[in-house]
Each structure stands twice: as C-alpha cells, then as structure tokens.
Amino acid sequence: MIWLMLATLVVVFIIGFRVLNSKARRASRALTKRLNLDPVYVESLISLMGRKAGEEFVDYLSRDSEAHLSNAASVLLIYQVFIVDESDESLAFWRGVLRKAYLPLELSNEHVRLAMVFLRELEPDAYEMNDFRQRYNARFAADETILSEPPSNVIPLHSRLHRR
C-alpha cells in the first residue's frame, strides 16, 4: 500500500514538473533545433538569467518568429563567449554554429542591448560588452571580405536611375 502511494506521488510530481516547464521546454527546443545544439546550452542560459528574465526570454522565444530566434541565438552567443568562455576555440565554435544555422554572424548594438536586458541579473558591464561586440565584429570582418565574392563590373540599373 505504501509503494502504491509513493508511486502515485512520483507520477504526480513528474507530470506536474512537465506541465510547469512545458513552455520553457518548447522554447528551448525551438532554439536548439534551429541551432542544432544540445538543449543544455539554452537551458543553462535560461536558468542563469534568473526567474523573471528567464520567463521573459522564454516568452520572447515563444513568438515563433525567425527574427526572434535569430536574436535569441545572438544572445546565446554573447552569453557563451562573453560570459562563459572567451577563448578563441569557443568563439570559433559559436560562430560556426550561427553560420551552419544560416543566421547573421555580425553582432549589432541591438543584440547587445537585448543581451543586457536578459542577462541583467548577472550584471554585465555595458561598456565591456560593447567592446566585445566591436572586437568580435572587427576580428571576423577581415574573414568576411576574404570569403566574399570578387567585385563585379556589373552595375545595377536602378543605381543609374537614382544618380540623375
């Protein structure tokens, strides 16, 4: 009889836990599926954000928009590289994750502001985060010019029309 009560308690606990965390799991799954990552990266980010900021991040991800997923991926990159591990290997790994997911590789001021909002409980320094953004963009800007196509001698027709 005691075993039956304990089993019922465990089942109720598991079901309750799944119901309470289902929105966070769906949001986390959406981002990890888009980035082709293990869920542990996104779940650790959400848990370290704190309760209120984590709920806001989950709500932000739940909007099911490509722009929101892209911005959330940039916040994840900033968190993983700026706060967790700023090594060159980590930087190359996370940039590769964004590249494989066909997401924008450049970090904008808006990405930094969004990261500041969601990571407010960790109290990152805004100036240091902006310096990180500039170093990140400057470091990979040279790589992008090498990888880009050679200049073309074709001039679009609409550019001639606007010059007059």
- The per-residue pLDDT for 34 is 87
Q: Give the whole-number percent of the chain exceeding pLDDT 70.
A: 81
Report for 12-16, 141-145, 159-163: range of highest mean pLDDT: 12-16
Whole-number pLDDT of residue 161: 47
Task: Please count the other Cβ atoms lying within 10 Å of the Cβ belonging to residue 21.
Answer: 13
Cα(95)–Cα(106) distance, rounded to whole angstroms?
9
Residue 107 near residue 136, CB atoms below 8 Å: yes
Q: In this structure, are residues 53 and 121 in contact, taking their beta carbons and an 8 Å threshold?
A: yes
Per-residue pLDDT at 147 exceeds 50: no
Residue pLDDT, tens place only, 79-101: 998 888 888 888 889 989 989 98
Q: So what's the pLDDT on residue 143?
A: 56
Indicate whether 31 pLDDT > 70: yes
